Homo-oligomer: A and B are copies of this chain.
C-alpha cells in the first residue's frame, strides 16, 4: 500500500461510494468520511484503512486536498454543498471538489458557477460501472472541469477506474453520463422486448441471449441480458428508482436543450409502470418485466 499523505474528504458511502472509498483508502489516501447515516458509516469504517469519521461535510472537507462525493441525487448534493456545514464553506484554495454523483446538468452548471465565483476548483466526475466494477477498479470516469484540476485528480481516478475521459466543462461530463445511461437503459428495453417476443415464439430467453451476446459481444448487453433472461433482479446493483431518476434527468436535459427523445420517453413510461407495480427496489433491469406482462407471459417471480 502506497502512502500518499493526501487527505481526501469522502462524502457518501452508498452502493457506489463505498467501493470507491475502499479503493482510495487501500491505495493510501487518508479519508475523512461523512455519510448521512452515521451508523452505516461506522459499520463500514473498518474496511477503510486510516479513515476518520467526520460529523459534517464541512469537517470532512477541512484540510483535505480533495473532497470526493458520491450521492444519489441533486437534493443530496445540494445538501452537502451549501450552508455553513457544507463543503463549499470549508474548501480552501488548494482543495478540489470531485463530484461523482449523477446529477442534472442544471445543478452541474450551478455548481461550476458557484465554485468559480468562490475561486474554488470543481471537477464533475460521474462514473460508469456497477458496484462490482467499482470494487474491481474497472469504472470509466468522465471528468469535466479545468484540465489542470483534472490532471491533479489523476492519482485518485487511477485507483478507482480503468480510464478517464476528459471534458472541459463540468455539465458536459454530467450530460455525457446521462447519454451513456440512456443508451444502457435503451439496451435493457430492447432486450426486454426482444426476449419477450422470442419467448412468445418458443425461444428460451437464455438461448436468445447466447446469440445476441455473441453478435453484440458487449459486457453491457451480456450482463443485462443474462439478468433479464434469468429474471434475476436481486440484489439490485442499480436500483430501479435510482435508474428512473437518471432517465428523468436525461428527459429534463432534452427539454432544456431542445432534443426530443422518444426512446427515453418510452423508457420513462416503462419505469413508471414498474414502479407503480411495486418493483422499485429491484435492479433497474427488472423494468423488462413490463414487456413480459404486456405479452401475457407468466408473471415474473421476483425472487
Question: Which residues does A use to contact B, with CB under 8 Å?
Answer: 105, 128, 140, 142, 163, 165, 167, 169, 171-172, 175-176, 178-180, 182-184, 186-187, 189-191, 193-198, 200-203, 207-208, 210-212, 214-221, 248, 250, 253-255, 257-266, 268-270, 272-273, 275-278, 290-291, 293-296
Q: Is the CB of B201 within 8 A of A175?
A: yes
Q: How far is the CB of A75 from chain B (nearest CB, A)?
A: 15
Q: Is the CB of B211 within 8 A of A260?
A: no
The residue in A193, A212, A217 that gathers the most chain B C-beta atoms within 10 A of its C-beta is A193
Q: A189 touches which one: B163, B186, B208, B257 (CB < 8 A)?
A: B186
**Which residues of chain B are near A262, meaning CB under 8 Å?**
193, 262, 265-266, 269
Q: 13 A-B Cβ contacts within 8 A?
A: A171-B201, A176-B211, A178-B197, A179-B198, A182-B194, A183-B216, A186-B189, A193-B264, A201-B253, A201-B257, A216-B221, A218-B220, A262-B269
- In the docked arrangement, what's the CA distance between A194 and B172, Å? 13
**Which residues of chain B are near A261, meaning CB under 8 Å?**
193, 197, 269
Q: Is the CB of A258 within 8 A of B217?
A: no
Report how many copies the assembly holds.
4
Q: With contacts A175-B201, A216-B220, A218-B218 known, what are 13 further pairs, Cβ within 8 A?
A: A105-B201, A167-B207, A179-B211, A180-B212, A197-B254, A217-B218, A248-B255, A258-B295, A260-B269, A260-B294, A265-B265, A265-B266, A293-B293
Q: A182 touches which one: B186, B190, B296 (CB < 8 A)?
A: B190
**Which residues of chain B are near A250, meaning CB under 8 Å?**
197
**Which residues of chain B are near A183, meaning CB under 8 Å?**
187, 190-191, 194, 212, 215-216, 221
Q: How far is the CB of A242 from chain B (nearest CB, A)?
A: 15
**Which residues of chain B are near A212, meaning CB under 8 Å?**
179-180, 183
Q: How far is the CB of A293 from chain B (nearest CB, A)?
A: 8
- In the docked arrangement, what's the CA distance between A260 and B189, Å? 12
Q: How far is the CB of A289 from chain B (nearest CB, A)?
A: 12
